[in-house]
Amino acid sequence: MSERITGAEALVRCLEAEGVDTLFGYPGGVALPIFDALYDSKQIRTILPRHEQGVVHASDGYARATGRIAPALVTSGPGATNTITGLANAYMDSIPMVVFTAQVSQAVLGTDAFQESDITGITLPITKHNYLVKDPADLPAVIKEAFHIASTGRPGPVLIDLPIDVSRGELDFEYPETVHLPGYKPTTKGHSRQIKQAAGLIAKARRPLLYAGGGVLAGEGTKELKELAELMQIPVVTTLMGKGAFPEDHHLWIGMPGMHGAKYTNYTITETDLLIAVGVRFDDRVTGKLSSFASKAKIIHIDVDPAEIGKNKAVDVPIVGDAKPILAGLVGELRKSAADPKTEAWVRAIDDWRKQFPLHYHTVEGHIAPETVVQVIDKLTMKQKRVICTEVGQNQMWACQYTHLTEPRTWVSSGGLGTMGFGLPAAMGAAVGRPDHLVIDIAGDGSIQMNSQEMATCKINDIPVKVVILNNGYLGMVRQWQELFYDRRYASSVLDQMCPDFVKLADAYGWKGYRITDPADLEKTLKKALAEDGPVMIDVHVEREECVFPMVAPGGSIDEMLGGVPGAPVSDMLDDDLLEEVWE
The closest of 321, 394, 478, 519 to 329, measured between CA atoms, is 321
Instruction: With both helix axes pointing from N to C terminus, report the angle between 370-381 and 522-530 in degrees, rounded to the nearest 10.
Output: 50
CA 168 to chain centroid, in Å, comes to 37
CA 564/CA 164 separation, integer angstroms: 59
Minimum distance from residue 316 beta carbon to another protein (Å): 17
Q: Is residue 110 a contact point for another protein (CB under 8 A)?
A: no
The binder of another protein chosen from 251, 311, 360, 504 (CB under 8 A): 311
Q: Which stretch binds another protein (CB under 8 A): 123-131, 329-337, 369-377, 384-392?
A: 123-131
**Residue nearer to another protein on the CB measure, 131 or 511:** 131
Minimum distance from residue 160 beta carbon to another protein (Å): 13
**Residue nearer to another protein on the CB measure, 233 or 312:** 312
Minimum distance from residue 274 beta carbon to another protein (Å): 24
CA 143/CA 23 separation, integer angstroms: 14
Q: Is residue 483 a contact point for another protein (CB under 8 A)?
A: no
**Residue nearer to another protein on the CB measure, 149 or 477:** 149
Contact between residue 278 and residue 302 where contact means Cβ atoms under 8 Å apart: yes
**Residue nearer to another protein on the CB measure, 236 or 309:** 309
Minimum distance from residue 453 beta carbon to another protein (Å): 33
**Residue nearer to another protein on the CB measure, 125 or 555:** 125
CA 42/CA 536 separation, integer angstroms: 30
Q: CA torsion 358→364→365→370, rounded to 10°?
A: -80
**Residue nearer to another protein on the CB measure, 58 or 320:** 320
The closest of 451, 463, 481 to 548, measured between CA atoms, is 481
Q: Is residue 191 a contact point for another protein (CB under 8 A)?
A: no
**Residue nearer to another protein on the CB measure, 132 or 276:** 132
CA 239/CA 269 separation, integer angstroms: 12
**Residue nearer to another protein on the CB measure, 306 or 332:** 306
The closest of 371, 355, 357 to 566, measured between CA atoms, is 357
| Site size with another protein, rule: CB under 8 A | 18
**Residue nearer to another protein on the CB measure, 147 or 411:** 147
Q: What separation in angstroms does the CA of 88 have from each of 46, 337, 418?
A: 23, 44, 10
Residue type present at position 255: G
Q: Which stretch binds another protein (CB under 8 A): 122-130, 355-363, 417-425, 505-513?
A: 122-130
CA 349/CA 285 separation, integer angstroms: 25
Q: Is residue 132 a contact point for another protein (CB under 8 A)?
A: yes
For the chain, counts of helices (H) and of strands (E): 23, 19
Minimum distance from residue 6 beta carbon to another protein (Å): 24
Q: Is residue 299 a contact point for another protein (CB under 8 A)?
A: no
The closest of 233, 317, 5 to 137, measured between CA atoms, is 5
The binder of another protein chosen from 183, 383, 497, 576 (CB under 8 A): 183
Minimum distance from residue 311 beta carbon to another protein (Å): 6
CA 409/CA 214 separation, integer angstroms: 10
Q: Which stretch binds another protein (CB under 8 A): 11-19, 120-128, 280-288, 486-494?
A: 120-128
**Residue nearer to another protein on the CB measure, 181 or 520:** 181
The binder of another protein chosen from 13, 51, 128, 301 (CB under 8 A): 128
The binder of another protein chosen from 2, 170, 192, 310 (CB under 8 A): 310
The binder of another protein chosen from 175, 184, 481, 583 (CB under 8 A): 184
Residues 6 or more apart whose Cβ sits within 8 Å of residue 322: 188, 189, 190, 219, 220, 221, 304
Contact between residue 175 and residue 140 where contact means Cβ atoms under 8 Å apart: yes
Q: Which stretch binds another protein (CB under 8 A): 118-126, 243-251, 289-297, 365-373?
A: 118-126
CA 240/CA 373 separation, integer angstroms: 19
H or E element: which one contains 33? helix 32-38
The binder of another protein chosen from 125, 338, 355, 365 (CB under 8 A): 125
Q: Is residue 358 a contact point for another protein (CB under 8 A)?
A: no
Minimum distance from residue 146 beta carbon to another protein (Å): 10
CA 409/CA 66 separation, integer angstroms: 7
The binder of another protein chosen from 15, 149, 150, 570 (CB under 8 A): 149
What would the DSSP string read from start to end of 129-145? EEEE---GGGHHHHHHH
**Residue nearer to another protein on the CB measure, 125 or 566:** 125
> Would the CA dihedral through 497, 529, 443, 378 be positive or negative?
positive
Q: Which stretch binds another protein (CB under 8 A): 117-125, 242-250, 527-535, 562-570?
A: 117-125
H or E element: which one contains 440? strand 438-444
The binder of another protein chosen from 220, 230, 305, 532 (CB under 8 A): 305
The binder of another protein chosen from 181, 460, 520, 531 (CB under 8 A): 181
**Residue nearer to another protein on the CB measure, 129 or 437:** 129
Contact between residue 523 and residue 529 where contact means Cβ atoms under 8 Å apart: no
Q: Which stretch binds another protein (CB under 8 A): 127-135, 370-378, 438-446, 513-521?
A: 127-135
CA 266/CA 295 separation, integer angstroms: 12
Measured from the Cβ of residue 512, the count of other Cβ atoms closer than 10 Å reads 17
The binder of another protein chosen from 129, 298, 301, 515 (CB under 8 A): 129
Minimum distance from residue 212 beta carbon to another protein (Å): 23
Q: Is residue 562 a contact point for another protein (CB under 8 A)?
A: no
Q: Which residues bind another protein (CB under 8 A)?
A: 120-121, 124-125, 128-129, 132, 149, 154, 181-184, 305-307, 310-311
